[in-house]
Amino acid sequence: MKRISGTSKALIAAVALSLAVISGASAEPLMMNGAGATFPYPLYSKWFYEYSNANPGVKFNYQSIGSGGGIKQITTGTVDFGATDAPMSEEEMGKLPGAILHIPTAIGAVVVVYNLDKVESGLKLTPDLLAGIFLGKITRWNDPKIAELNKTVTLPNADIVVAHRSDGSGTTDIFTNYLAAVNTEWRAKIGHGKSVNWPVGLGGKGNEGVAGVVKQTPGALGYVELAYAKQNKMKVAALRNKEGNFVSPTLEATSAAAAGVAKSMPDDFRVSLVDAPGKESWPISGLTWILVYKDQKNEARGKAMVQFLKWAVKDGQKMEAALDYAALPKAVADKVDKALRQITSKGKSLY
Amino acid sequence: MAARSGKITKDFVFEKASAFFASVVLFLAVLLFAVLLRESIPALRKFGASFLVTGTWDPVLERFGALPFLFGTLVSSFLALLIAVPLSVGAAIFINEFAPPWLKAPVSLLAELLAAIPSVIYGLWGIFVLVPILRDGLMKPLTKYLGWIPLFKGPVYGPSMLAAGVLLAIMIIPFILSVSREVLATIPQRQKEAVLSLGGTRWEMIRIVIGQHCIPGIFGATVLGLGRALGETMAVTMVIGNRPEIFASLFQQGYSMAAVIANEFAEAGGLQLSSLVLIGLLLMLLTLVVNFAAKGMLSKMVARASRGI
């Protein structure tokens, strides 16, 4: 008898448990799916974790498949949001089923790194010198034009080994955008894009690939993301910005670039920050965006998205510096917050 | 009677099921080819046969040609064979014919372990160990003294066609080595003893018996290695320099077909994507051609070898 009652107890417990699971299912968290850029992935992971902890009703699933992939996924509507390091082109936007919003979430910087034994961080370069090096016109470290700017250091009589990304990337897009903005020859001959026809240099796959070439090759010079250079303690060059000041790449200098264009920030936020005005501005900076449709088909999902984005441009910004991202300046964050009011579902604002 | 018909039904089911599995394999191969062809149509239309002989790869102006990648894939793979075949055949002869028994097991175990290392590990090792050694120990001195030969022309950076060839050679040695050893093991002991009993030296024994017997097998092993070298992606892209240009010098950079697909596929769109798929299709055709040619040569060799005996 006892044994039977034991069994039935277990049965009751099992039924109760399965009931609990079923009732739990009705309150299952909303899973928001996203895909896109790899650059902001560490930041977004942190955001999703913190936000879901505070709001257990929403969970996120983000695939960092690259900006191009993010744009493809949001165009076909397989994800709730996309993410990209390069604003969508008019052509890409023409393929969309509805109007889309570019929501800036962070600012990234691309920095010039090099490997010279006797030269510490802070080698000075001008935009034309940098373009000349990447065009293959300036090939020696002791070129008089470089020496003139860096009188305090001895530059070796050695080849400059140029390193660039071999994979298509937002980092390359920002970097080539910068070169095209500051140098007419680069603009005419090479142009800009996620991958370009490099006149010289070695290709490395990913930031780690470029960093690998630079670290392993004496006399090498390349470009990587600021966070990557910082975390790996690489030597970085100072660049002359639009106002004529030599600035070193820092998070503050990157934010300053966004502040420099804050006044002229277009309403759709599709703006390039390269060669931005402002005394302290680091010239090779760029926004990274989350892409969401203005008209949300599903009200609950749309609402969750808007609430998250509201949080991201306010509370989320405080987490940026710790992960080596530059936060949006307040003026820009306020403007983004206002833009979120445009997201609607069946004509109703979800803000 | 009932049991018999049951058996027949079972056989029937088994036959159809296995035929289905076989057709799945065939279907997958055809599907793969069809999809590659369909996706590469825009590039085929735009560039046609000139795709094969154009040396430009410009994603901004959307001008694409496969020549530097074809060149890089073929040169790095044949360079790898040039290094790997004598090394692995020599090693196989030593292990099978000369090595004391206590040495055989560890050497062959280590060789098999080499085959199990993922290619990205080879690539990292290439960047951090092999490339600096080649650069400072081989390429710099060679350029200094023999730089007038186009093959050894500087400047020396490190990542290069040579580095890719050497790394590929290391990666395919285990394959060629183990197949060569299998082939050598098939030589009848009596034939070897016959040569020795006639007063032949060990060298003569190897030259005569192996030359007669093993050339087709070793050739087969070589093709196996070549197949692997042609398709290798990660390790090559990490050391070849990823530069879509053609240089006579082995010390300059190159690019391979598999590497450009791996590098650019994720962010490509439009004509660039189509061109990358077309390169994939070409790579598939290239491996098919190599395999068929090898099969043809192999059967001729086998015929000749059996006639010789």
* Ordered domains of chain A (ranges, CATH): 31-108+286-349 (3.40.190.10), 109-254+273-285 (3.40.190.10)
Say if B144 falls within a structural domain: yes
Say if B198 falls within a structural domain: yes
What residues have CB less than 8 Å from B147, skipping those under 6 apart? B153, B154
Same domain for B97 and B235, yes or no, is yes
Same domain for B142 and B270, yes or no, is yes
CA distance A144 to B167: 39
Same domain for B75 and B213, yes or no, is yes
Average pLDDT rounded to a whole number, residues A224-248: 93
Tell me what percent of the residues of chain B surpass a pLDDT of 70: 96
- Any idea which residue has 């894939």 for tokens? B73
Say if B214 falls within a structural domain: yes
Q: Per residue in B91-121, pLDDT tens?
A: 999 888 888 889 888 888 888 888 899 999 9
Same domain for B10 and B103, yes or no, is no
Beta-carbon separation of A193 and B269 below 8 A: no
Residue span of the structural domain in which B301 resides: 67-307
User: Cα B275–B281–B285 angle (5° rounding)?
Assistant: 145
Beta-carbon separation of A168 and B243 below 8 A: no
Size of interface A-B (CB pairs under 8 A): 88
- Would strands A161-165 and B57-58 be described as parallel, antiparallel, or unpaired? unpaired
Best residue of A197, A200, A208 to probe chain B, by most B CBs closer than 10 Å: A197
* CATH number of the domain to which B162 belongs: 1.10.3720.10
Residues of B in contact with A197 (CB under 8 A): 56-61, 244
- Any idea which residue has 């085929």 for tokens? B44
Say if B300 falls within a structural domain: yes
- Strands (E) across chain B are located at 57-58, 63-64
Say if B60 falls within a structural domain: no
Q: How much is the pLDDT for A7?
A: 53
Say if B62 falls within a structural domain: no
Same domain for B75 and B23, yes or no, is no
Residues of A in contact with B233 (CB under 8 A): none
Nearest CB to A69; choose among B61, B155, B266:
B266
Q: How much is the pLDDT for A2?
A: 44
Q: From chain A, which residues contact B within 8 Å (Cβ)? A: 65-69, 72, 159, 161, 166-169, 190-198, 201-205, 209, 212-213, 216-217
Say if B55 falls within a structural domain: no
pLDDT at B307 over 80: no
pLDDT at A23 over 60: no
As for how many domains chain B has, the answer is: 2
Residues of A in contact with B131 (CB under 8 A): 216
- Element containing residue B219 per DSSP (H, E): helix B215-231
Q: Look up residue B261 and give its two tokens.
A: 């697909």
Same domain for B124 and B31, yes or no, is no
- Any idea which residue has 């093991």 for tokens? B185
Same domain for B72 and B145, yes or no, is yes
Same domain for B29 and B107, yes or no, is no
Residues of B in contact with A192 (CB under 8 A): 60
- Any idea which residue has 């060298």 for tokens? B203
Nearest CB to B267; choose among A159, A168, A198:
A168
Q: Report the candidate in A93, A85, A246, A243 with the shortest Cα–Cα distance to residue A175.
A: A85
- Any idea which residue has 């709730």 for tokens? A80
Lowest pLDDT segment from A305-309, B198-202, B276-280: B198-202
Same domain for B111 and B220, yes or no, is yes
Reported ipTM exceeds the 0.90 cut: no
Q: Per residue in A71-108, pLDDT tens?
A: 999 999 999 999 999 899 898 899 999 999 999 999 99
Computed from CA positions of residues B223, B227, B228, B233, in that sequence, does the dihedral angle turn out positive or negative?
A: positive
CA distance A164 to A199: 11
Same domain for B284 and B213, yes or no, is yes
Best residue of A92, A205, A214, A221 to probe chain B, by most B CBs closer than 10 Å: A205
pLDDT at A139 over 70: yes
Beta-carbon separation of B267 and A197 below 8 A: no
Q: How much is the pLDDT for B134?
A: 95
Same domain for B40 and B98, yes or no, is no
pLDDT confidence bin for A150, thresholds 50/70/90: very high
User: Cα B305–B194–B198 angle (5° rounding)?
Assistant: 115
Average pLDDT rounded to a whole number, residues A292-296: 94
Q: Look up residue A110 and give its two tokens.
A: 């691309």
Q: Look up residue B29 and give its two tokens.
A: 């191969």
Q: From chain B, which residues contact A within 8 Å (Cβ)? A: 56-61, 127-128, 131-132, 155, 157-159, 237-238, 241-244, 253, 255, 259, 262-264, 266-269, 272
Same domain for B45 and B90, yes or no, is no
Residues of A in contact with B272 (CB under 8 A): 195
Say if B43 falls within a structural domain: yes
